[in-house]
Amino acid sequence: MSIQLGQIAPDFEADSTQGRIRFHEWLGSSWGLFFSHPKDFTPVCTTELGEVARLRPEWDKRGVKTIGLSVDPVDSHQGWEKDIESTQGQKLDYPMIADTDQKVSTLYDMIHPEADPTVTVRSVFVIDPNKKVRLILTYPPSTGRNFAEVIRAIDSLQLTDTQSVATPVNWNQGEEVIISPKLSDEDAHARFPQGFRTLKPYLRYVDLNQSA
């Protein structure tokens, strides 16, 4: 059964480069970025793992823990980490799960029938502090993941969890947002005293950075 948005992320226990991990316990009350790699010593993933490490200040700012997975064993991961540090200039500061029996990748539907059955696809899961899956992405082998987009999506999720708003196309943190259609104009004026602009009754923009 495939993972669905809004469901509780399956818990598991597995070995990693930072020891044995119980996933839910490891997440604690943090957001989580869980991403898989087909196998160790692959070129595109080498660049991705380095980038996730480079973005540590951004993950920390948002309360996000990062964790990777591939079907290779821990000693292979550790050898790969040395290559990543030497080529990307970043030391990996997050665990890499060793899913040698493919239990975790099967649990998260990372093994696709049309792909090599011995490797995972390049999946991304964003998980909230309630352990719910909030974002799922799957990339082809030849296309590097855009972690700036993952950060943008996390910014949107964290904002819209606390405000009655949604984020429009190409939105970035600090830009105008859309008021939820569930709010009447009266409720919107009460909630957003700084005012808002109406393009259509269902399309109202508000600047959350603007003072009342």
Q: Terminus-to-terminus CA distance in the chain, angstroms?
A: 48
Q: What is the rounded CA–CA span in Å between residue 172 and residue 88?
A: 27
- Strand 197-200 with 165-166, pairing: unpaired
Q: Which contacts (CB < 8 Å, 24+ apart) does range 134-139 have?
A: 134/5, 134/6, 135/5, 136/3, 136/5
211: helix, strand or coil: coil
Structure tokens at 104: 């975790």
Annotated active-site residue in 9, 14, 33, 45: 45
Q: Is 45 a catalytic residue?
A: yes
CA distance linking residue 41 with residue 72, whole number of Å: 10
> What is the DSSP code (8-state) at residue 151?
H
Q: What are phi and psi of 35, to 5 degrees?
A: -140, 145
Going through the chain in order, the beta strands assigned E by DSSP cover: 13-14, 21-22, 31-36, 64-70, 96-98, 122-127, 133-139, 165-166, 177-179, 197-200, 203-206
Q: Which residue numbers are catalytic?
A: 45
